A = this chain, B = another copy of it.
Amino acid sequence: MGIREDELVRKIGASLRQGRGVSPQVLLGAGDDAALFRPQPGYELVLTCDWFLEGTHFLRDKNPPDSVGWKCLARAVSDVAAMGGIPRCFLLSLAIPSSYSGRWLDEFLTGLRRASRKFQCVLAGGDTTRSNKTLINVTVGGEVRRGRAVQRSGARPGDVVFVSGRLGEAELGLQILKRIKRGANSTDSRQKKHLYPEPRIALGRWLAERRLASSMMDVSDGLSTDLSRLCAASGVGARINAANIPAPPVSSHGGLRAIDPLQLALHGGDDYELLFTVRPNRAKSFPRSLGGVPLTPIGVITSKKQIVLVNADGDESRLESKGWDPFRDPC
Measuring CB to CB, which residues of chain A are less than 8 angstroms from any residue of chain B?
2-6, 8, 27-28, 31-39, 44-51, 53, 56-57, 79-80, 82-83, 85, 89, 91, 93, 95, 98, 124-131, 135, 137, 139-142, 144, 146, 149, 151-153, 217-218, 229, 233, 325-328, 330
Contacts and interface: CB of A to CB of B under 8 A. Distances in A.
Contacts of A152: 31-33
Nearest to A7: B327
A139 B49 CA distance: 8
B328 A2 contact: yes
B33 A129 contact: no
A127 B50 contact: yes
Contacts of A44: 27, 36-38
Contacts of A48: 33-35, 91, 125
A221 to B, nearest CB: 8
A49 B49 contact: yes
A327 B98 contact: yes
B79 A33 contact: yes
B327 A33 contact: no
A327 B139 contact: no
A331 to B, nearest CB: 10
